[in-house]
Amino acid sequence: MKTIYETVDPGSMDMSVIDKAGSIIRSGGLVAFPTETVYGLGGDALNPESSEKIYRAKGRPSDNPLIVHISDFDSIYDIVRDVSAEAKLLADRYWPGPLTMIFDKKPVVPKETTGGLDTVAVRFPSHPVAQKFIEASGGFVAAPSANLSGRPSPTYGRHVLEDMDGRIDMIIDSGECNIGLESTIVDFTSEVPMILRPGYVNEKMLNSVIGEVAKDPAVFGNMASGGHPKAPGMKYRHYAPKGSMTIVSGKTDNVIEYITNRIKSKRPDERIGVLACSQNVSQYTGADMIFDMGCADNEIEISSRLYDALRECDEKKIDVIYSEEFDTPDLGLAIMNRLIKAAGHNIINV
């Protein structure tokens, strides 16, 4: 399959590209599109064959449900049985935006889209290109992140091209995704609303609108290894670069000392990469790759760069990766959730 690659400027959208993308979706094809979190791999959410195609293109197990993306709030009532008052409050506050909510589905949503579940995850993204694209596609776009299964989610059009060229009909490139981590998922089908995946909309932001929320213990308990996460996708070993990765935690001076010692004593055939905040990058000369994650106090810069950093480790054939810890106040939980998975829970305290 030849994949069409188009660039769309969110500030002055070429509607002919959006219309073409919409007609591909309506006729059962697949289009990757930008959102404020990560790029999505879109298909018609109400067409079971489109969802099957998505699983094939990603190489993803089909028990892992897809998120249905909408472009106006009221269309949610076409696909879910009931929206609780609390969910409505969250939608009023954080939609459009990086929040996904799970509800009981209506029969119109095929089981192929929900991985066999009777519930459906819904998100109304804020990215202007995503909104126009969803509208042009008929209003319900099923989309997982547009990476091959097991690779980091794409945050640039070129990441999507690396993974999906020849596998889907079209890619819309609108540059960098500004958040860079997947949406927060809140489940409204459990007794108390429960966070299944941490994201930009953090616990404090949820508490300020609906009070206490539960957290999936399999995801949040000591940042998670055992147990069965309620979001099936959280059980897979995601985001893992090919090299072996270690998170080095502790006082800044100790972290720098530990990593620089490792660089000095590296074997000749070993390629070492370091993920560091801007303040520290100059300390790691001698490493084969030093990725500047952004200013230590600029959380969104760090979150938006993480997946690019992990992909670059593979591109540069890095064998051993050391990352500083980015346990920042608001986004830290979401950032560390992905980083710890990427490192296969390999953390050392120095």
Summarize as ranges the residues that interact with ligand TXA (CB under 6 A): 35, 37-38, 40, 64-67, 100, 102, 114, 117, 119-121, 123, 143-145, 182-183, 185, 196, 230-234
When CB distances are held under 5 to 8 angstroms depending on the partner's kind, the choice from ligand TXA, Mg ion, none that residue 17 binds is none
- 248 contacts: CB under 8 Å, gap ≥ 6: 255, 258, 259, 322, 323, 324, 325, 347, 348, 350
Write down the least CB distance from residue 289 to Mg ion, Å: 24
When CB distances are held under 5 to 8 angstroms depending on the partner's kind, the choice from Mg ion, ligand TXA, none that residue 34 binds is none
Q: Which residue is nearest to Mg ion (CB)?
A: 145
Write down the least CB distance from residue 181 to ligand TXA, Å: 8
- Residue 187 neighbours by CB distance under 10 Å: 22
Write down the least CB distance from residue 121 to Mg ion, Å: 12
C-beta of 122 vs 274, nearer to Mg ion:
122
Write down the least CB distance from residue 211 to ligand TXA, Å: 22
Strand segments (E) across the chain: 4-7, 31-33, 40-44, 67-69, 99-104, 119-123, 141-142, 170-173, 184-187, 194-197, 214-215, 244-249, 272-276, 289-292, 320-324, 347-349
C-beta of 151 vs 262, nearer to ligand TXA:
151
C-beta of 103 vs 284, nearer to ligand TXA:
103
When CB distances are held under 5 to 8 angstroms depending on the partner's kind, the choice from Mg ion, ligand TXA, none that residue 232 binds is ligand TXA
Write down the least CB distance from residue 271 to ligand TXA, Å: 29
C-beta of 51 vs 145, nearer to Mg ion:
145
Strand segments (E) across 294-338: 320-324
Distance of CA 336 to the CA centre of its chain: 13
User: How large is the greatest C-alpha to C-alpha distance in the chain, in angstroms?
Assistant: 61
C-beta of 133 vs 322, nearer to ligand TXA:
133
Which residue is associated with the tokens 């879910």? 80
Q: Phi/psi of residue 99, each to 5°?
A: -130, 135
Is the bond preceding residue 232 a cis peptide, omega within 30 degrees? no
Q: Which residue is nearest to ligand TXA (CB)?
A: 233
